[in-house]
């Protein structure tokens, strides 16, 4: 039996694809300071890893990158190049260490390279590789998905990558990782709704402890991850 794929089906599948850890953008190679938190003893078991990531979701992503994804998606659809450039510049300005800046630049560049291989017309809309949240928004903007659904996919993709980082760096077992992911998934809708309520004056990126840990990670003796 065959059925016709609806626009809703296509949008959902596109977001699942973008959120997949198999997408070749390199998210698996970053821990975003968690490896340094493990080295400092701040994260040492399932409970502390879960609490750390939940706080990171609420205090960093929900206030910054998730909001950028939603706002950039609107700008891409409106062909508002000035707005896209302004959002991209804001992301770069809020990266407080070389590692965090390298991450958003590398993942954004890889997202555009991936788009070139499957949707070259979409990739061509970006004159130069944007940061990762802006590149993700470009990829999602070609579907009929809502900005909220795209933001949910972005957040879940982050959660899955970070859960895997916790498994490797603490280390933890797979069951512990799934429990962490379950908690993060339960927190994502509220984080996304908060992000969608922000504008340019209320969007922010202020996480000094994370910045300090990221800076320490750059000279950490032994590392599995690039951040």
Residue 2 has pLDDT above 80, yes or no: no
132 φ, ψ (degrees, to nearest 5)? -60, -45
- Please indicate, yes or no, if residue 1 is contained in any of the structural domains: no
- Please indicate, yes or no, if residue 226 is contained in any of the structural domains: no
Which is higher by pLDDT, 2 or 52? 52
Helix count (H) and strand count (E) of the chain? Answer: 11, 0
Q: Under a CB-based contact definition with an 8 Å cutoff, are residues 167 and 145 in contact?
A: no
Q: For the full predicted model, state whether its pTM sits above 0.75.
A: yes
pLDDT of residue 209: 92
Token look-up 């879960």 returns 50
Per the prediction, the chain carries an average pLDDT of 94
Q: 103-129, pLDDT tens digit by residue?
A: 999 999 999 999 999 999 999 999 889
- Please indicate, yes or no, if residue 118 is contained in any of the structural domains: yes
Q: Under a CB-based contact definition with an 8 Å cutoff, are residues 46 and 186 in contact?
A: no
pLDDT of residue 224: 87
Q: Under a CB-based contact definition with an 8 Å cutoff, are residues 135 and 126 in contact?
A: yes
To which H or E segment does residue 158 belong? helix 147-169
For residue 192, the enclosing domain spans: 28-217
Residue 4 has pLDDT above 80, yes or no: no
Identify the CA nearest to 121 among candidates 76, 83, 71, 80.
Answer: 76
Mean pLDDT of 137-157: 96
- Please indicate, yes or no, if residue 223 is contained in any of the structural domains: no
User: Would you call 186 helix, strand, or coil by DSSP?
Assistant: helix
- Please indicate, yes or no, if residue 21 is contained in any of the structural domains: no
pLDDT of residue 89: 97
Q: Which of 91-95, 194-198, 203-207 shows the lowest mean pLDDT across its residues?
A: 203-207
Which is higher by pLDDT, 220 or 101? 101
The Cα–Cα gap between 200 and 22 comes to 32
Residue 3 has pLDDT above 80, yes or no: no
- Please indicate, yes or no, if residue 6 is contained in any of the structural domains: no
Q: Which of 24-28, 62-66, 149-153 shows the lowest mean pLDDT across its residues?
A: 24-28
Cα 149 to chain centroid, rounded: 14
The Cα–Cα gap between 72 and 67 comes to 8
Assign residue 120 the CATH number of its domain.
1.10.4190.10
The Cα–Cα gap between 11 and 29 comes to 27
Residue 1 has pLDDT above 80, yes or no: no
- Please indicate, yes or no, if residue 178 is contained in any of the structural domains: yes
**Number of domain units in the chain:** 1
Token look-up 């916790």 returns 166
Top-ranked range on mean pLDDT: pick from 13-22, 64-73, 210-219: 64-73
DSSP 42-63: S--SHHHHHHHHHHHHHHTGGG
- Please indicate, yes or no, if residue 154 is contained in any of the structural domains: yes
Confidence band of 218 (pLDDT split at 50, 70, 90): confident
Q: Under a CB-based contact definition with an 8 Å cutoff, are residues 57 and 159 in contact?
A: yes
Encoded tokens for 135: 């590149």
Cα 129 to chain centroid, rounded: 16
DSSP state of 225: S
Which is higher by pLDDT, 218 or 161? 161
């Amino acid at each position: 039996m065959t059925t016709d794929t609806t626009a809703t089906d296509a949008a959902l599948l596109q977001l699942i694809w973008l959120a997949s850890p198999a997408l070749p953008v390199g998210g698996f190679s970053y821990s975003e300071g968690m490896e340094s938190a493990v080295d400092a003893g701040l994260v040492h078991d399932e409970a502390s890893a879960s609490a750390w990531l939940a706080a990171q979701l609420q205090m960093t992503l929900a206030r910054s990158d998730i909001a950028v994804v939603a706002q950039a998606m609107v700008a891409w659809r409106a062909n508002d190049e000035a707005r896209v450039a302004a959002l991209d510049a804001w992301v770069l300005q809020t990266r407080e260490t070389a590692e965090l800046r390298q991450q958003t630049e590398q993942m954004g560049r890889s997202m555009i390279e991936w788009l070139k291989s499957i949707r070259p017309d979409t990739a061509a809309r970006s004159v130069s590789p944007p940061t990762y949240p802006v590149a993700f928004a470009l990829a999602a903007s070609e579907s009929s998905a809502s900005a909220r659904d795209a933001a949910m996919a972005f957040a879940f993709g982050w959660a899955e990558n970070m859960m895997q980082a916790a498994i490797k760096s603490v280390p933890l077992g797979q069951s512990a990782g799934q429990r962490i992911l379950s908690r993060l998934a339960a927190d994502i809708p509220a984080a996304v709704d908060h992000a969608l309520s922000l504008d340019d004056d209320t969007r922010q990126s202020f996480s000094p402890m994370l910045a300090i840990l990221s800076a320490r990670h750059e000279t950490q003796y032994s590392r599995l991850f690039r951040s």
